[in-house]
Amino acid sequence: MKDTGRILVLCGLVSALLVFTAAPAFSQTDKSLDLTRIENVFDDFADGMAGALPLNSSIGLNWSDAYIGQLLRVPPNVGFGVSVGATTIPYAALKSAADDLGADLPGIADTLGLPMPGYTVEARMGGIIWPFDIGLKVGALPDSDLFLPSGWELDYLLVGGDIRVPILHGRGPLPVVSAGVGFNYLRGGVTASGVLGDITVAEVEYGTGGETANVVLTDPKLEFEWSSRVLDFKLQASKRFFVITPYLGLGASYAWSEAGGGVKSSLDVQNISGGESAEDVKAAIRNQYPQFDTDGFAVTSDVTGFGLRTFGGFSFNVLIARLDFTLMYDFLGQNLGATTGARIQL
């Protein structure tokens, strides 16, 4: 859990941190403040992340059995367990942000994209009277700093459920095939405050006499938030062979997603070359660069639309214990995903 929390924070803030560490977002030759470039970095990253959220919300309830049977049997058909995994933010979105910064992407992002982890605690039980099963999942780290360095906070929530009905019952050589519908809600956010200290971002000219001053962000607070509501439909087939159950599925979804980030900071000026007061210089700079005020800036991206994915894998079955391994691929968003889960199933 500790490592998962740290990875979530690093993934959510990597673009924001690059703004200040990977390359200057300001022109040192004409002494101008290039705020559009910073906003483009957040905007590019937000677009890519919003599009990747629906696949990430499908972490959990990826059980190998296409249908577990009805509840009122001996023993009852019920199970519970945990899942952990990650999906990717695609390379194209990361490259756009990196190009804005003039930064190079690490090798893993170059090939697979940026991993975005998640986890769930989950349960599934068979239906009563009619043949169906129902699953519920939840993963939460509400406003937690328990596993993080001082000044860092993480908010993570994934809640979802589905209901499946069997189409084929797997008699003889035929597989078990089910059709299902579900709904997932994913929300998260990461913030970092008091970890960067004051940052001198540029020496700028103000006024008409060539006067200069250093623009300083005083202890900036970096924020990134995301959310997604996903209506999900899926078909799944599975067939048990001794202690292994392979499975394959196809999912279609419609999602309402948004992601955004920004910087909150007081704007200060230092090393003023003229005789003006700091307040007069700040007023002049704010007039010259109205995009950036004393509260910082924020960028939000909304993505609404369809998704189409395939998923599959296998489980090892030992008595009532199951160990699942799943791979996922989103055809439209070109995002990858992988999960593993352990459960007890009667």
Chain-centre distance for alpha carbon 200: 30
**pLDDT given at position 26:** 35
**Which residues are 180's β-sheet partners?**
164, 234
The backbone region for 163, taken as left when phi is positive above 0, alpha when psi lies in -120 to 50, beta otherwise, is beta
Residue range 61-65: mean pLDDT, rounded: 96
Tell me which residue of 297, 335, 337 sits closest to 49, measured CA to CA: 335
Tell me which residue of 16, 1, 158 sits closest to 87, measured CA to CA: 158
pLDDT of residue 245 exceeding 80: yes
Answer with the residue of higher pLDDT: 184 or 193: 184
Answer with the residue of higher pLDDT: 303 or 320: 320
At 166-184, the pLDDT tens digits run 999 999 999 999 999 999 9
* Total domains present in the chain: 1
Q: Tokens for 31, please give them.
A: 């002494």
pLDDT of residue 105 exceeding 90: no
What domain range includes position 183? 2-345
Residue range 255-269: mean pLDDT, rounded: 79
Looking up tokens 């589905």, which residue turns up?
162
* Cα–Cα–Cα angle for 80, 318, 176, rounded to 5 degrees: 70
* Cα–Cα–Cα angle for 20, 295, 191, rounded to 5 degrees: 55
**Per mean pLDDT, which range of 10-19, 42-51, 68-77 is the poorest?**
10-19
Residue range 271-295: mean pLDDT, rounded: 68
pLDDT of residue 78 exceeding 90: yes
Confidence of residue 301 (pLDDT cuts 50, 70, 90): confident
Residue range 28-46: mean pLDDT, rounded: 58
pLDDT of residue 300 exceeding 80: no
Tell me which residue of 34, 19, 89 sits closest to 291, measured CA to CA: 34
**pLDDT given at position 32:** 44
In whole angstroms, what is the distance from residue 124 CA to residue 225 CA? Answer: 30
What does the radius of gyration of the chain's CA atoms come to, in whole angstroms?
Answer: 25
State which H helix or E strand residue 249 sits in: strand 244-270
**pLDDT given at position 145:** 57
pLDDT of residue 103 exceeding 80: no
Give Cβ neighbours of residue 15 (< 8 Å, ≥ 6 apart).
Answer: 41, 42, 44, 45, 97, 224, 261
In whole angstroms, what is the distance from residue 275 CA to residue 146 CA? Answer: 48
Q: What is the pTM of this model?
A: 0.78
Give the count of alpha carbons within 13 A of 6, CB side only. Answer: 7
Using an 8 Å Cβ cutoff, are 265 and 220 in contact?
A: yes
Confidence of residue 289 (pLDDT cuts 50, 70, 90): low
DSSP string, 9-60: HHHHHHHHHHHHHTS--SBTTTTB--HHHHHHHHHHHHHHHHHHHHHHHT-S
Helix spans in 58-135 (H): 91-101, 107-111
**pLDDT given at position 20:** 36
Amino acid residing at 40: N
pLDDT of residue 1 exceeding 70: no
Cα of first residue to Cα of last residue in the chain, in angstroms, is: 27
What is each CA distance from 9 to 121, 180, 265, in whole angstroms? 21, 33, 20
In whole angstroms, what is the distance from residue 157 CA to residue 118 CA? Answer: 9
In whole angstroms, what is the distance from residue 101 CA to residue 108 CA? Answer: 19
Note the maximum CA span of the chain. Answer: 90
The backbone region for 341, taken as left when phi is positive above 0, alpha when psi lies in -120 to 50, beta otherwise, is beta
pLDDT of residue 38 exceeding 50: yes
pLDDT of residue 225 exceeding 70: yes
